[in-house]
Structure 1
Amino acid sequence: MSQQLTPVRLPANQPRQFYRGGAAIAELRGLPATAEFGPEDWVGSTTTRFGQQAAGLSPLPDGGLLRDAVAADPAAWLGAEHVAEFGSDTALLVKLLDAGQRLPVHCHPSDAFARDHLDCRHGKTEAWIVVGTSGPNPTVHIGFREDVDPSVLDAWVTGQDRAAMLDSLNAIPVRAGDTVFIPAGLPHAIGAGVFIVELQQPTDFSVTLEWQGFLDDPQAWHLGMGQATALGCVDRSGWSAQRLTSLVRHTADRHDPVVQLLGDNEFFRADRLHADSPVELDPSFSVLVVLEGTGRLRTEHGGDAPLRRGDTFVLPHSAGAATVDGGAVAVRCRPPAPGGNG
Structure 2
Amino acid sequence: MDLYPLKFKPILKERLWGGTKLKDVLNKPIESDITGESWELSGVQGDISEVCNGDLAGTSLNQLITKHGEKLLGKSVVARFGNEFPILIKFIDAKQDLSIQLHPNDDLAKERHNSFGKTEMWYIMNADPGAKLIVGFNRNVEKAEYIQSLEEGTLLDLMNYEEVSEGDTFFINTGKIHAIGAGVMLAEIQQTSDITYRVYDFDRKDKNGNLRELHTGLAVDAIDYEQKDDFKVDYPHKKDAVNTMVDCPYFKTNFLDLNSSMHQDLSTRDSFTIYMCVGGEATIDNDWGNVSIKKGETILVPACSSTVNINTHGAKLLEVTI
One of 123, 147, 154 as aligned partner of 1:154: 147
**Cα separation, partners in 2 of 1:168 and 1:88, compared to 1, 3 Å:** same
One of 226, 238, 243 as aligned partner of 1:259: 243
- Kept in 1, the 8 Å contact 2:240–2:259? The answer is no
- Kept in 2, the 8 Å contact 1:290–1:329? The answer is yes
One of 219, 225, 228 as aligned partner of 1:236: 225
- Which secondary structure does the structure 1 equivalent of 2:285 belong to? strand
Q: Give the count of matched residue pairs.
A: 311
The 5 Å alignment of 1:1-342 reads 4-21=2-19, 23-31=20-28, 34-48=31-45, 54=46, 56-61=47-52, 62-120=57-115, 122-134=116-128, 136-158=129-151, 161=153, 164-211=154-201, 212-213=203-204, 220-222=213-215, 227-239=216-228, 244=229, 246-250=230-234, 254-262=238-246, 264-281=247-264, 282=266, 283=269, 284-299=271-286, 301-336=287-322
- State the 1:31 CA deviation: 4.4
- State the 1:132 CA deviation: 1.5
- Kept in 2, the 8 Å contact 1:209–1:221? The answer is yes
**Match for 1:313: what amino acid?**
I
- Kept in 2, the 8 Å contact 1:4–1:76? The answer is no
**Cα separation, partners in 2 of 1:327 and 1:143, compared to 1, 3 Å:** same
- State the 1:271 CA deviation: 1.6
- Kept in 2, the 8 Å contact 1:295–1:324? The answer is yes
- Kept in 2, the 8 Å contact 1:143–1:187? The answer is yes
Q: Deviations over 1:7-57 (max 9, x none)?
A: 122233212333222x22223433465232321111111114xxxxx2x32
- State the 1:229 CA deviation: 3.7
Q: Which runs of 5 or more residues in structure 1 are unaligned? A: 49-53, 337-342
The two structures have a TM-score, normalised by structure 1, of: 0.82
Q: Which runs of 5 or more residues in structure 2 are unaligned? A: none
**Cα separation, partners in 2 of 1:91 and 1:31, compared to 1, 3 Å:** closer
- Which secondary structure does the structure 2 equivalent of 1:314 belong to? strand
**Cα separation, partners in 2 of 1:251 and 1:154, compared to 1, 3 Å:** same
Q: Deviations over 1:131-173 (max 9, x none)?
A: 1112x201111111122222232233355x2xx2223111111
The two structures have a TM-score, normalised by structure 2, of: 0.87
Equivalent residue for 1:339?
A: none
**Cα separation, partners in 2 of 1:102 and 1:219, compared to 1, 3 Å:** closer
- Kept in 2, the 8 Å contact 1:131–1:176? The answer is yes
Cα separation, 1, equivalents of 2:177 and 2:295: 33
Q: Deviations over 1:61-90 (max 9, x none)?
A: 333322332233221210112112221222
| Identical aligned residues as a percent | 23
User: C-alpha root-mean-square deviation of aligned residues, in Å?
Assistant: 2.4
- Kept in 2, the 8 Å contact 1:108–1:123? The answer is yes
- Which secondary structure does the structure 2 equivalent of 1:36 belong to? coil
Cα separation, 2, equivalents of 1:115 and 1:296: 40
- Which secondary structure does the structure 2 equivalent of 1:249 belong to? coil
**Match for 2:277: what amino acid?**
V
Cα separation, 1, equivalents of 2:155 and 2:96: 17
- Kept in 1, the 8 Å contact 2:257–2:317? The answer is no
**Cα separation, partners in 2 of 1:38 and 1:8, compared to 1, 3 Å:** same
Q: Deviations over 1:234-255 (max 9, x none)?
A: 111123xxxx2x3213558543
- Kept in 1, the 8 Å contact 2:237–2:257? The answer is no
- State the 1:291 CA deviation: 2.5
- State the 1:294 CA deviation: 2.9
Judging by fraction of residues, say which structure has more strand: 2
- Kept in 2, the 8 Å contact 1:92–1:334? The answer is no
Cα separation, 2, equivalents of 1:214 and 1:110: 29
